[in-house]
Structure 1
Amino acid sequence: MTTTPPGMQPITEDDIANYLANTPGFFERHAQLLASVQLSSPHGNRAVSLQERQAEMLREKIKALEHRIMDMVRHGNENVVIADRLHRWARNLLLVRNTHALPATIVSELMTQFMVPQAAIKVWKVAPQYAESDFATGVSEDARTFASSLTQPYCGVNSGFEAVDWLEDKDLAMSVALLPLRVGAIHDASRAFGMLVLASPDPQRFAAGMGTDFLERIAELASAALSRLRDD
Structure 2
Amino acid sequence: MSNQKTTASKSANTTGSQPDEQSVADYLRRHPGFFEDKPTLLADLRVPHATGSAVSLVERQVAVLRESNTGLQKQLKELVQVARENGQLNAQLHKFTLQIIENDSLDALLILINKQLCRNFSASRVALRLLVGAGDGKSVSRDEFPADADAFRGLFRRLLRAGKPHCGPLNGEQLVALFGEQAESIASSAVLPLGKQGDLGLLAIGSFEKDRYHTSMDTSFLDNLAEVITVAMGKYLDTGS
- Provide the C-alpha distance between the structure 2 equivalents of 1:175 and 1:28, rounded to a whole number of angstroms: 56
How much has 1:208 moved relative to structure 2?
4.0
Partners in 2 of 1:16 and 1:214 — Cα distance? Answer: 53
1:98 is the counterpart of 2:105: yes
> Partners in 2 of 1:143 and 1:84 — Cα distance?
33
1:36 aligned onto 2:48: no
In structure 2, which of residues 179, 183, 204 is the aligned counterpart of residue 167 of structure 1?
A: 179
Q: Letter of the aligned partner of 2:193 in structure 1? A: P
Instruction: Tell me how far 1:28 sits from its aligned partner.
Output: 5.8
- TM-score of the superposition, structure 2-length normalised? 0.75
Q: Given that residues 127 and 203 in structure 2 are in contact (C-alpha distance below 8 angstroms), is that contact kept between their aligned partners in structure 1?
A: yes
Kept in 2, the 8 Å contact 1:122–1:195? The answer is yes
**Letter in structure 1 aligned against 2:128:** I
C-alpha change, 1:122 and 1:58, in structure 2 (3 Å) is: closer
Distance 1:96 1:204, change over 3 A: same
* Aligned residue among 160, 172, 190 for 1:177: 190
Change over 3 Å in CA distance of 1:68–1:24 after alignment to 2? closer
Distance in 1 between residues matched to 2:191 and 2:32, nearest whole Å: 60
- Separation in 2, partners of 1:29, 1:174: 61
Counterpart for residue 132 of structure 2: 125
Indicate if the aligned counterparts of 2:105 and 2:236 stay in contact, CA closer than 8 A: no
In the alignment, which of 117, 135, 149 is matched to residue 140 of structure 1?
149
- Match of 1:180, SS state, is strand
SS of 2:217's partner is coil
Report whether the alignment pairs 1:82 with 2:94: no
Deviation (angstroms), 1:105: 1.9
Q: Give the structure with higher Rg (CA).
A: 2
- Cα separation, partners in 2 of 1:204 and 1:25, compared to 1, 3 Å: closer
**Structure 2 equivalent of residue 22 of structure 1:** 30
Q: Conserved in 2, the CA contact under 8 Å of 1:126 and 1:229?
A: no
Distance 1:165 1:208 in 2: 21
Give the letter aligned to residue 72 of structure 1. L
Asked whether the equivalents of residues 38 and 50 of structure 1 are also in contact (C-alpha less than 8 Å), the reply is yes
Q: 1:152 to 1:3 in 2, by over 3 A?
A: farther
Answering whether residue 161 of structure 2 is matched by residue 152 of structure 1, we say: no
Partner secondary structure for residue 218 of structure 2? coil
Q: CA deviation at 1:225?
A: 1.0
Runs of 4 or more, structure 1, over 6 Å off, are none
Q: Secondary structure at the match of 2:228?
A: helix
SS of 1:196 mapped into structure 2: strand
Matched-pair contact (CA < 8 Å) for 2:191–2:205: yes
C-alpha displacement at 1:180, in angstroms?
0.9
| Structure 2 residues without counterparts, runs of 5 or longer | 1-7
Distance 1:162 1:71 in 2: 33
> How far is the alpha carbon of 1:223 from its aligned partner?
0.6
Change (3 A) 1:9 1:88: farther
Q: Deviations over 1:2-48 (max 9, x none)?
A: 9655xx78732111111232245754675542343344455662x44
* Residues 86 and 37 of structure 1, relative CA distance in 2, 3 Å threshold: same
1:206 and 1:27 map into 2 onto residues whose CA distance is 51
The two structures, once aligned, show a CA RMSD in angstroms of 3.2
- Judged with a 3 Å threshold, the aligned counterparts in structure 2 of structure 1 residues 169 and 84 are, in CA distance, closer, same or farther, namely farther
Give the number of aligned pairs: 224
Any unmatched runs of 5+ in structure 1? 184-189
